[in-house]
Amino acid sequence: MRGLFVGMDVSKDDLKAAVKDDRNALVMPIKTYQHDQASFEALVNDIEPREREFGCRAIFGMEATGIYHVSLYRFLQEKGKQTKVFNGLEIKRFKGRIRKTKTDKLDAVAISEALILSVEPIYKPPSDFETVHLRELTRMRGRIVKKMSICKNQGTRSLDILCRGYSGMFKDTFSPSSVAIIKGTFRLTRLFGMSTEQMATVLSEFMPKKAAQEKASELSALFGRVVVPEKERDSSILELHLVLQQLELLNEQLDRIERRIEETVKKTNTKLTSIPGIGELTAGILIGELGSLKQFRSASQLIAFAGLDVVVKQSGHYEHLGHISKRGSPNLREALYNAALPAAQYNPVCRPFYEKLRNKGKHHKVALVAVARKLLHIAYSVETKNREFYVPNHIAIKAS
C-alpha cells in the first residue's frame, strides 16, 4: 500500500492542487479549482480514482489562510476526507527548498511535500456549533480591541498637540474619569474652560473627594502652562471628539460580544473556569481555538500546538534553548500570556512556580511564558480528567 498526498494552495480567487505519492512523485498534473460546490466535487472526483489505484485514502493538506480555506476544509470534512491544516511557519521551510521562484503551483507542491514528511497527527479544528461560534466571537472581540487601541493612539496624538503632558495625568488616558474631563474642557468654544472646582466635582464621581481635589489642582496647573498651536487647534479638538464617539461605540460592541462569549462558555459546562487565572473570556478563547483538549495525546503536544514550546538548537555538544516557536494561533498565545499574570498572583500552583523562576534570576516575561505553559498543563489535566481544578497535596503542604 502506498501513500497519496494532496497539497492545496488556497488563494482568494481559486486553489491549486498537487498530488504526490510517498516516493515524492507527482501522480497527476497540477490542477486549478474554483471556490464553489461543483469545483470541490470535481477535486474529490479527480482524487478518488487515484485512491483506488493506490489502495489507500488520500490525505489532504492546506495552509491556514484566514478565511479562504474554511469552506474547502468543511467540505472535505463532510466528505470524510483526512485533512490537515498547516500553520504558515510549518511549511515555510518546504517552500524555501523550491528555488526562489514563488507560484501557487509550487506552493501546492510544497504543501504536498510537507504532508509526506509530517509526523504529527492530524489535528481536527473545532466543528460543533458552540465551539466554532466561540472561535468567531473571540476573534471578533480581538479585532474590536485592536480598533480600540488604534483609536486611543489617535486620541493620544491629538491630546499631545493640545496639551502636552495630559496623557501622563491618568493611569489610563481614556478611563471614565479622564474622558469626563476631556469632554468638559477640550472644546472648540472654550478650551480649558473648566475651573478647578468644576473639575474636582466631576472627578469626585470616580474617586475620593480629596484625591479628586488634588487631581483637579494638578490639571489646572498643567492647563495654565500649556502652549496650544493655533493652526492645529480646531482639527485636533475635532479628531479628539470623533475618537471619543468611536470608543463609546466600540465599548458598547465589546460589552455585547463579551456577554455572548460568557453565555456560550456557560453552555459548554467546561471545567476550565475553575482554574484561578482563567476566566470565561480566556476559557472561550481556549475552547474556540483548540476545540476538545482530549484530542491531544499529551499536554506537551498541546503546548507545541499553541506555539509555547521552546525551540532547541543543537549541533554536536552545543545545545541552545531559544525563544518559543510561536506556531499556532496568536490569539491563543496572547490569551494565555494575559492569563499568566493573575495566575502568578492568585493560582496556588502557578504562584510558587513563578516565584521559583524569579528567584533563579529569570526575567518577569520569561517567567510569565513559563506560567502560561503551566496553565496549559493544568487545563489539559482538568479537561481530560473532567474534574475541577484542585491543589495537589504536595503543593498544598508546602503552601501551608
Between these two residues, 284 and 92, which has the higher pLDDT value?
Answer: 284
Q: Which amino acid is at 299?
A: A
pLDDT band at 91 (very low <50, low <70, confident <90, very high): low
What share of the chain has pLDDT > 90, as a percent?
A: 62
| 323 pLDDT higher than 80 | no
Beta bridge partners of 16: 9, 32
Q: Range with the lowest mean pLDDT among 101-110, 171-180, 214-223, 291-300?
A: 101-110
Whose CA is closest to 399, among 333, 340, 353, 341?
A: 353
Query: Distance of CA 83 to CAs 6, 20, 67, 127, Å?
Result: 9, 15, 16, 13
pLDDT in the model for residue 320: 45
**Model pLDDT for residues 142-156, shown as the tens digit of each residue:** 999 999 999 999 999
| 99 pLDDT higher than 70 | no
| 87 pLDDT higher than 80 | no
Place of cell 470535481: 42
What the block records as the C-alpha cell of 377 is: 498543563
pLDDT in the model for residue 319: 47
Q: Which amino acid is at 68?
A: Y
The SS3 assignment for 143 reads: helix
| 95 pLDDT higher than 90 | no
Q: pTM for the full model? A: 0.76
Q: Please give the torsion angle defined by the CA atoms of residues 88, 143, 377 and 323, in that order, rounded to the nearest 10 degrees.
A: 50
Average pLDDT, the chain: 87
Distance CA 168, CA 191 (A): 19
Q: Tell me the average pLDDT across 49-55.
A: 90
**Model pLDDT for residues 261-320, shown as the tens digit of each residue:** 999 999 988 999 999 999 999 999 999 988 888 888 888 888 888 888 776 554 455 444
Q: Tell me the average pLDDT across 4-10.
A: 92
Place of cell 466535487: 41
What the block records as the C-alpha cell of 162 is: 493640545
Cβ contacts of residue 239 below 8 Å, gap of 6+?
154, 155, 158
Cβ contacts of residue 388 below 8 Å, gap of 6+?
271, 274, 382
pLDDT in the model for residue 350: 94
**Model pLDDT for residues 360-380, shown as the tens digit of each residue:** 999 999 999 999 999 999 999
| 118 pLDDT higher than 90 | no
What the block records as the C-alpha cell of 302 is: 498541546
